[in-house]
Amino acid sequence: MSDQKQSDRSSFEGLKAAADTIKQIIALSTGVIALTITFLEKVLQPLPKEGARTVPWTMLAGWILFGLTILVGLLALGSVVGTLNAIDRKRIGLSLTRKQQKAAEDLAGGKSDVRKLAFYTYVLFFLGIVLTIATGFEVSQSVPHAP
């Protein structure tokens, strides 16, 4: 197998793995949002004076981060599709647009949009998880314990 075909095959497999990971992160982010909203009664905190209930700021920030994770993850999946399309067109000898040529070259050079967007997806997800765990600690500290 030629070096170019081997490189394209490696790129193809790497993009498929990245797409699968991003899909899993999107599913997990959606699940965390759904579960925390489902059990919102357990998370709501009463305000000291009014007795009204509020969502802790860590949970709100976590939801925002998970929402951004989903958005950036979808952008990353779109970038994967575009890059795979460029690789396929290049492999079978079809003409490439300037954007497709840049996507193929960037992937080979290690500065692909897919890598950047995947990295941002991972970071946003991690921060969302950290804030969700922080919410758990915050809520568990504020719940009165039985003597």
pLDDT tens per residue, range 69-81:
999 999 999 888 8
From 69, 85, 83, select the one nearest 32 (Cα to Cα): 69
For residue 108, which phi and psi values (nearest 5 degrees)?
-65, -35
Give the dihedral sign, CA 100/103/106/107. negative
Per-residue pLDDT reduced to its tens digit, 121-134: 999 999 999 999 99
Angle between helices 113-142 and 98-109 (to 10 degrees): 70
Looking at the predicted structure, is the pLDDT value of residue 10 above 70? no
Q: What pLDDT is attached to residue 129?
A: 97
- Helix, strand or coil for residue 59? helix
| pLDDT level of residue 50 (50, 70, 90 thresholds) | low
Contact 55/44 with Cβ under 8 angstroms?
A: yes
Structure tokens at 73: 């993850």
- Helix, strand or coil for residue 39? coil
Place of tokens 């059990």: 39
Per-domain residue ranges of the chain: 3-140
Return the H-helix or E-strand segment holding 12: helix 3-38
User: Global pTM?
Assistant: 0.80
